[in-house]
Structure 1
Amino acid sequence: MAEDKKPRSLATQAAAKIAKFVRGNMSATLKAKEEGKKVAYAYINDGQDEIMRAMDIVPAWGESFAGVCAAKRDAEKYLQKAEAGNFSRSLCTYATCTIGFDMWREELNGETPPGAPWGGMARPDMIIGSAQQLCDPRFKWPQATQHYLQDVPVFVGSMYYPPWDPNRDHHEQEAIYVKYAKAELLGLVRFCEKHTGKKMDWDRLSDLVDLTEKTWNLFIDTYELRKVIPTPMDTGDAMNTMVPITFNLATQDAYDYYRDLYDELVRKNEKKHGVVENEKYRILWGAGLPSWFALGDFQYFNDKGAVFPAEVTYRNAEKLERLDLPATNDPLERIAWRWVRFWTHWYDGARRRPGSSPKVERIIEYIEDYKCDGVVFHSAFSCRSWHAGIIHQAEVLRKIYGDIPILIMEGDIVDISSYNEVDTHNRIDAFMETVDAYKARHN
């Protein structure tokens, strides 16, 4: 049974429209089955979006479904189902939530489990995985799912990029990784052609790559409007507004959404309408996925005059001109270069700062550009690889900035049993006292 909870107040009209996107993405999988279209389980930050869209494959996003379950505080039944199948609570709860849903649906001979949030997801015709260097379950999650969906074919790519090494020039390696990624993407095209019975329309794919690149540029232009004091939008809203670029990439709907959000933030800035009436503190969300069942914690910060004008999490794009991508008419090569350079374009800065790393350089850039007074990290116990290195990043920041306030919150993304609201708010209270003292010393 879902627990009652107080919703977070949203600062933008655009953020309030996101529920329609999420519902639409989930219902699209159910409608696709009725219309005879192919449905694929898909995973975020995969570099595969344009290929699926070009092949008219409807993606079913497990991470989004699990996030909805968590936000509605209705994930426990799926976590328990997975746990009964010997999946540990320490595993990625995005994965175990959706696997539990799959297990239950199979027990019902393909029927959606009763009470599934927003109707659940359709049974997929294929699984298109991405085991890139972001999430440790990305190889095993599709494999574990296929154990229950044994007739469903699986393609798992890797989309690697040059590993960070302060003593090696990554520019010498990039072309090798791009060549590998392009070959892998071509393998995905062949997989999709085999299981859809259709041939790739390469002109359409190229057009969708164009649309993605336009959306990336607009997304960053929009988010940079948050540099203004008072900020017109903070991370509490961004955990909603990230949906189109994360789950609707390569669609006109995503581009149009950020056009509307851009216009709204321009209007708010012209009127000096900030997230809070009296903005006192600006904090960076340094890393970590949020607790989807506790987004009200952002409101708790706001009530203290604190805003989050920027975040690392779900800022899944960068201005194309900054990436300095080589010119090519091959759409697969364009995807590959964009993928590799998105991760490596902080490498040079990190190499110039001894003891730093690309992740730290990204945080420093946002601290400086958005004039932040402190940093909050969230360490989710079931999301190890994305949260690995947080303590090291905090230590490097302290060496660079001295006494900058840093809070490392602990919890999970889906499993609400890990969360203690009183303890969390007490830690926020103590952190904000530190931020206040920090500002007093440095102003």
Structure 2
Amino acid sequence: MDVVPVWTENYAGVCGAKRDAERFLERAESQSFSRSLCTYALCGLGFDQWREELGEMPPDAPWGGQARPDMMLSSGQILCDPRNKWYQAAQQYMPDVPIHNVDLPYPLYEDDIEVADVQDYYIKHIIEELRLLIKFLEKQTGKKMDYDRLSEFVDLGERTWNLIWETYELRRAVPTPMGTGDAMNTMVPMVFMMGTQEAYDFYLDLNKELKDKIAKKEGVVEDEKYRLLWGGGLPSWFALTDFNYFNSKGAVFPVETTYRMIEPIYRLNMPDTNDPIERLAWRWLGYWTYWYDKAKKRPGSEPDVERLIQYIEDYQIDGVVMHEAFSCRTWHLGLIWQLNQLRKIYKPIPVLILGQGGKKKEEKRELPSLILESDIIDISTYSEVDTRNRIDAFIETLEQVRKNKANRR
């Protein structure tokens, strides 16, 4: 419908990466918003209030500022409360801008409930929500939905989805050709541009680049010592150089759970349908429930833990790193619990090694973990010295685990 999306979370992240979010956070605090709320939302609210007060962009706004919207579309996805409330709060500065909320639920994981038993209800609800969104957009734009064109966009989005999965799977190679630090940049077309030719072409080029690096055995670092899993949490956008610090120690991140496609479309058990709205609904449900059946097969497991286990095995992981962002409770709640569950059901990890005389023997492999703490864009929560000290201690642990393994042989 030729609506250009402006992603407010993305702009807050840009402000954080530019280390220029503080003045917008303070502006929001001056409007009686607590610093303990989502700092993405606080940054956006502070920016909106300032722009509306001035009648123009705040001075020296990163990337030229964020445009005043014609409409605001929110969706909490039963995952992020600020996505529901953020624009309601922003409307006090822009009372003429209409809001529409899209409710996109998915069944929560329960040991005694099968997704197949409830999925029809959720699909019906999601389809109704998407059709209500279309009615809202038709009213605001004065255009009718072209469903043939929508179907073309959905087709392109699904091809892009599969291409992203295939491209990221190339990172299994040893040495890995791309780390999580880069993935926090290559995720932009995935999150904000799906269904566009630009996104597809971007990942086509990335796919070729990674294949070229693999052919040359060119890795993120010259001497890859440790392969780590970024097991959860948004990064500190102002401190992405922490990934470079890991790299300086010979540690790389070939895989992450953040901003990543789960599996290709053909593995999501989607029924055949030509209705683009139904396809979007089934893709949504398949994305969020893919790990449910796997978790039921392992006593004490949980879908997010199953995802960690698969990445640990597929990418030959030596340790897990997570980031607890103070202001993003809904997205980061449960990370420590996931690590504890992982330890209970998957540690120590049995692996087969080649022993003396060429005979295979089973060994118990340890899997160290590290939790970093700060925020997504509030740099006042971050201590580079403390973070680097934690990383150093973690690397020492990885090294000791490797030495212990060598001594046992």
| TM-score using structure 1 length | 0.86
Paired amino acid for 1:428? I
How many Å separate the matches in 1 of 2:321 and 2:27? 33
State how far apart, in whole Å, the 1-side matches of 2:70 and 2:336 are.
Answer: 41
Q: Which amino acid aligns with 2:4?
A: V
| Cα distance in 2 for residues equivalent to 1:437 and 1:353 | 30
Please name the residue that 2:381 is paired with: 418
Q: Is the 8 A contact 2:164 2:261 kept in 1?
A: no
SS of the aligned residue for 2:371 comes to strand
Give the gaps of 5 or more residues in structure 2. 349-365
Matching of residue 352 in structure 1 with residue 297 in structure 2: yes
Tell me if 1:80 matches 2:43. Answer: no
5 Å-filtered alignment, 1:324-335, equals 324-335=269-280
> What residue is the counterpart of 2:247 in the other structure?
302
- Cα distance in 1 for partners of 2:374, 2:269 equals 38
Q: Aligned pair 1:113/2:58, yes or no?
A: yes
Give yes or no for the alignment of 1:432 onto 2:395: yes
Distance 2:35 2:300 in 1: 35
Q: Which one of 290, 311, 325 corresponds to residue 380 of structure 1?
A: 325
Residue pairs, 1:10-409, within 5 angstroms: 55-109=1-55, 111-399=56-344, 400-402=346-348, 403-409=366-372
Q: CA deviation at 1:168?
A: 1.1
Q: Which runs of 4+ in 1 moved over 4 A?
A: none
Map Cα deviations across residues 14-70 of structure 1 (whole Å, 9 max, x no partner). Answer: xxxxxxxxxxxxxxxxxxxxxxxxxxxxxxxxxxxxxxxxx1001111111111111
Give the match's secondary structure for 1:58: coil
Percent identity between the two aligned chains = 61
- Report how far residue 438 of structure 1 moved: 2.2
Offset of residue 367 of structure 1 = 0.8
Cα distance in 1 between the residues matched to 2:268 and 2:187? 21
Moved more, 212-221 or 346-355: 346-355
What letter corresponds to residue 372 of structure 2 in structure 1?
M
Shift of 1:440: 3.2
Question: Hey, what does 1:28 align to over in structure 2?
Answer: none
For these two proteins, the number of residue pairs brought into alignment is 388
Q: Partners of 2:24 and 2:389 in 1: how far apart?
A: 31
Residue pair 2:165, 2:261 contacting (<8 A) in 1 also: no
Please give the alpha-carbon distance, in whole angstroms, between the structure 1 residues aligned to 2:43 and 2:262.
27
Does the Cα contact within 8 Å between 1:231 and 1:309 map onto a contact in 2? Answer: yes
Kindly state the Cα deviation for residue 355 of structure 1 after the two structures are TM-superposed. 1.4
In 2, distance between residues paired with 1:292 and 1:133?
Answer: 24
Over alpha carbons, which structure has the higher Rg?
2
> Matched residues in 1 for 2:73 and 2:175: separation?
42
Partner of 1:17: none
Aligned CA RMSD, in angstroms, stands at: 0.9
Q: Give the C-alpha shift of residue 410 in structure 1.
A: 0.4
Q: Structure 1 residue 317: deviation in Å?
A: 5.0
SS at match of 1:132: coil
- Match of residue 33 from structure 1: none
Q: Deviations over 1:210-239 (max 9, x none)?
A: 000000000000000000000000001000
Any gaps of 5 or more consecutive residues in structure 1? 1-54
Aligned mates of 1:152, 1:442 — CA distance in 2: 62
Secondary structure, in 3 states, of the residue corresponding to 1:139?
helix
> Alpha-carbon deviation of 1:442?
4.1
Cα distance per residue 1:377-419 (max 9 Å; x no partner): 0000000011010111010111212341010110000000000
| 3-state SS, counterpart of residue 272 of structure 1 | coil
Q: Distance in 1 between matches of 2:72 and 2:6?
A: 9
Q: Secondary structure of 1:148's partner? A: coil
Equivalent pair of 2:324/2:372 in contact (CA under 8 Å):
yes
TM-score (norm 2): 0.94
**8 Å CA contact retained: 1:373, 1:439:** no
